[in-house]
């Protein structure tokens, strides 16, 4: 059975109903994989995980304007709809939902969802209102689809915690299923923005995971600030001069941690290689 391509809300509800109530799928479960397109290996891994959890897999492609700032790359964000649909179909996705802006945000739309504590640190410090846009669109997609499961990657770890929190606090009956960061053969976290990097820049970016892994080896033997200093100096040494942040925070709530309690520590990094912003994280 070929993938169904849906572009409006009524069509989405009809398609899901057909899949849920088919003769072989009585009370079938549904997993959603929200994306902004530019499908790559990490998205494909999310679809594979979705198939393990549910009978029906729905992927969404929506480049969400609400989560982009004034000087960010909304207009330049890669779009490859035909190829995206093919890659999703090849991995066994049943439905792909590609709504227009007016479907998600009608003219009279006047609502945002904010998870303030989790959104105020790391990427939220510089990217004002970014996570409000993420939380709002994800909440809408979960409610529109009635999904039983939603699959997200740990590369965007702060996003994962925010979505988990909003689902819990809004009593949305959907289980958030995380998967580990998908990396290429050199350890670089796979991202849609990697395609902006030239070969020289990729060689530089490949050092990020190597440095984080090295920092993790000695984390419990040294002061937290010493670990951060090691990461900063190592990153600068390989030619990355613009650092957004290097922070070590609690794995569950993103609060600061102390040397007296390192048991739930996670290292977070955001850097620029020329104009390309890359983020990564690792459990310590």
The residues assigned a catalytic role are 43
Beta carbons within 8 Å of 159's beta carbon, 6+ residues apart: 131, 134, 152
DSSP states of the chain: -PPEEE-SHHHHHHHHHHHHTSTT-TT--EEEEEE-S---HHHHHHHHHHHHH-SEEEEEE---GGG--TTS-TTTS---HHHHHHHHHHTT--EEE---HHHHS-TT-------HHHHSSTHHHHSTTHHHHHHHHHHHHHHHHT-SEEEEEGGGHHHHHHHHHHHHHTT---EEEEEPPPB-TT-PBP-GGGGG--HHHHHHHTHHHHHHHHHHHTGGGS-HHHHHHHHHHHHHHTT--EEEEEEEEETTT--B-BTTB-TTEEEEEEEEETTEEEEEEEE-
């Amino acid at each position: 059975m070929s993938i169904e391509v849906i572009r409006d809300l009524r069509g989405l509800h009809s398609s899901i109903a057909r899949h849920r109530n088919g003769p072989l799928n009585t009370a079938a479960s549904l997993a959603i994989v929200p994306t902004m397109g530019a499908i790559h290996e990490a998205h494909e891994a999310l679809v594979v995980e979705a198939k393990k959890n549910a009978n029906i897999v729905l992927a969404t492609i929506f480049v969400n304007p609400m989560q982009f700032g004034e000087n960010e790359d909304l207009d330049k964000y890669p779009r490859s709809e035909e190829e995206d649909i093919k890659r999703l179909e090849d991995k066994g996705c049943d439905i792909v939902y590609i709504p227009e802006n007016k479907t998600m945000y009608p003219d009279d739309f006047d609502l945002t969802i904010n998870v303030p504590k989790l959104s105020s640190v790391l990427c939220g410090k510089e990217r004002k209102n970014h996570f409000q846009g993420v939380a709002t669109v994800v909440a809408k997609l979960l409610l529109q689809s009635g999904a039983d499961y939603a699959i997200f990657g740990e590369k965007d770890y702060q996003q994962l915690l925010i979505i988990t929190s909003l689902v819990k606090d809004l009593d949305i009956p959907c289980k958030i299923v995380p998967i580990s960061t998908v990396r290429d053969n050199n350890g670089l976290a796979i991202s849609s923005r990697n395609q902006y990097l030239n070969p020289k820049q990729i060689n530089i970016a490949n050092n990020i995971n190597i440095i984080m892994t090295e920092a993790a080896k000695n984390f419990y033997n040294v002061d937290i600030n010493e670990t951060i200093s090691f990461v900063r100096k190592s990153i600068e040494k390989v030619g990355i001069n613009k650092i957004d942040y290097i922070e070590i925070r609690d794995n569950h709530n993103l609060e600061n941690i102390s040397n007296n309690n390192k048991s739930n520590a996670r290292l977070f990094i955001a850097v620029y290689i020329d104009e390309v912003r890359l983020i990564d994280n690792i459990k310590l």
